[in-house]
Structure 1
Amino acid sequence: MTELTHTDVTEVDVSTGELELEDRASLRRVAGLSTELTDVTEVEYRQLRLERVVLVGVWTQGTAQQSEASLAELARLAETAGSQVLEGLVQRRSRPDPGTYIGSGKVRELFDIVVATGADTVICDGELSPGQLRQLEAKLKVKVVDRTALILDIFAQHARSREGKAQVELAQLQYLIPRLRGWGESLSRQAGGRAGGAGGGVGLRGPGETKLETDRRRISKRMAKLRREIASMDTIRETKRSRRVANEVPSVAIVGYTNAGKSSLLNAITGAGVLVEDALFATLDPTTRRATTPDGRVYTLTDTVGFVRHLPHQLVDAFRSTLEEAADADLLLHVVDGSDSAPEEQVNAVREVLAEISRKRSESLPPELLVINKADATDEVSLARLRHLLPGAEVVSAHTGEGVEALVEVVAGRLPRPMVEVEAVVPYTRGDLVSRVHADGEVLAEDHDEHGTRLRAKVHPDLAAALAEFG
Structure 2
Amino acid sequence: MIEKKDIALERAVLIGVVTKEQDEAKSKEYLDELEFLTYTAGGEVVKRFTQKMDMPNPKTFIGTGKIEDVRVFISENDIGTAIFDDELSAAQERNISKILGCKVLDRTNLILDIFAQRAQTSYARTQVELAQCEYLLPRLKGMWTHLERQKGGIGMRGPGETEIETDRRIVRDKIALLKDKIKTIDKQMAVQRGNRGKMVRVALVGYTNVGKSTLMNVISKSDVFAENKLFATLDTTVRKVVIQNLPFLLSDTVGFIRKLPTQLVESFKSTLDEVREADLLLHVVDISHPNFEHHIESVNKILGEIDSSDKPTIMVFNKIDAY
Normalization by structure 2: what TM-score? 0.91
1:63 and 1:103 map into 2 onto residues whose CA distance is 18
Following superposition, the deviation at residue 85 of structure 1 comes to: 1.0
Q: Name structure 1 gaps, 5 residues minimum.
A: 1-44, 187-205, 379-471
Which residue number corresponds to residue 191 of structure 2? 239
Q: Does 1:117 align with 2:77?
A: yes
One-letter identity of the residue aligned with 1:345: H
| Alignment equivalent of 1:311, drawn from 256, 260, 271 | 260
Q: How does 1:309-348 map to 2 (within 5 A)?
A: 309-348=258-297
8 Å Cα contact 2:234-2:254 kept in structure 1: yes
Whose RCO is larger (CA < 8 A, sep 6+)?
2
Counterparts in 2 of 1:176-325, with a 5 A limit?
Answer: 176-181=136-141, 182-183=144-145, 210-244=162-196, 247-294=197-244, 296-325=245-274
Q: How many Å apart are 1:365 and its aligned residue?
A: 3.7
Residue 346 of structure 1 deviates from its aligned partner by: 0.7
**1:354: which partner in 2?**
303
Please show how residues 105-144 of structure 1 align to structure 2 within 5 Å: 105-144=65-104
Match in the other structure for 1:90 = 50
Query: For residues 364 and 343 of structure 1, what CA distance do their matches in structure 2 show?
Result: 18
Measure the CA separation in 1 of the matches of 2:59 and 2:160. 32
Counterparts of 2:306 and 2:285, CA distance in 1: 20
Which residue number corresponds to residue 18 of structure 2? 59
- Give deviations 1:168-209, integer Å, cap 9, x for gaps: 00000000000002349x9xxxxxxxxxxxxxxxxxxx8698
SS in 2 for 1:210: helix
CA positional deviation for 1:71: 0.4
In structure 2, give the amino acid aligned to 1:220.
R
Q: Which amino acid aligns with 1:46?
A: I
Does 1:77 pair with 2:37? yes
Matched with 1:47 is 3
Whole-angstrom CA distance in 1 between matches of 2:12 and 2:160: 40
Q: How far is 1:62 from its partner?
A: 4.2
**Shift, 1:108, TM fit:** 1.1
C-alpha deviations, 1:52-75, integer Å up to 9, x for none? Answer: 110000121344222111101101
Assess if the C-alpha contact under 8 Å between 2:3 and 2:116 holds in 1.
Answer: no
Contact 1:167 1:319 in 2 (8 A): yes
Q: Any stretches of 5+ residues in structure 2 without a counterpart?
A: 149-157
Tell whether the 8 Å contact from 1:328 to 1:366 is kept in structure 2 after alignment.
Answer: no
Matched, 1:156 2:116: yes
Aligned residues: 307
Structure 1 pair 207–77 and aligned structure 2 pair: CA distance change class (3 A) = closer
Runs of 4+ in 1 over 6 A off after TM superposition: 206-209
- Deviation of 1:327 (Å): 1.3
Write the deviation string for residues 130-183 of structure 1: whole angstroms up to 9, x where unpaired.
Answer: 111011011111111000000000000000001000000000000000000234
How much does 1:48 deviate? Answer: 6.1
- Output the TM-score relative to the length of structure 1: 0.63
Q: What residue is the counterpart of 1:454 in the other structure?
A: none
Identity of aligned pairs, percent?
Answer: 45
User: Residue 88 of structure 2 aligns to a residue in which SS?
Assistant: coil
The equivalent of 2:316 in structure 1 is 371
- The structure that has the greater radius of gyration is 1
Q: Supply the distance in 1 between the matched residues of 2:68 and 2:320 (Cα, whole angstroms).
A: 46
Cα distance in 1 between the residues matched to 2:214 and 2:118: 17
Distance in 2 (CA, whole Å) between partners of 1:145 and 1:351 is 28
CA RMSD of aligned residues (A): 1.9
CA 1:118/1:230 → structure 2, altered by over 3 Å: closer, same or farther? same
Secondary structure, aligned partner of 2:272 = helix
Q: Distance in 1 between matches of 2:292 and 2:164?
A: 45
- For the 8 Å contact 1:58–1:102, the answer to whether it is kept is yes
AA matched with 1:325: E
Offset at residue 47 of structure 1 (A): 3.3
Aligned partners of 1:91 and 1:102 also within 8 Å? yes
Deviation at 1:92, TM superposition (A): 1.2
Q: Aligned letter for 1:146?
A: D
CA contact (8 A) 2:4 2:117 kept: no
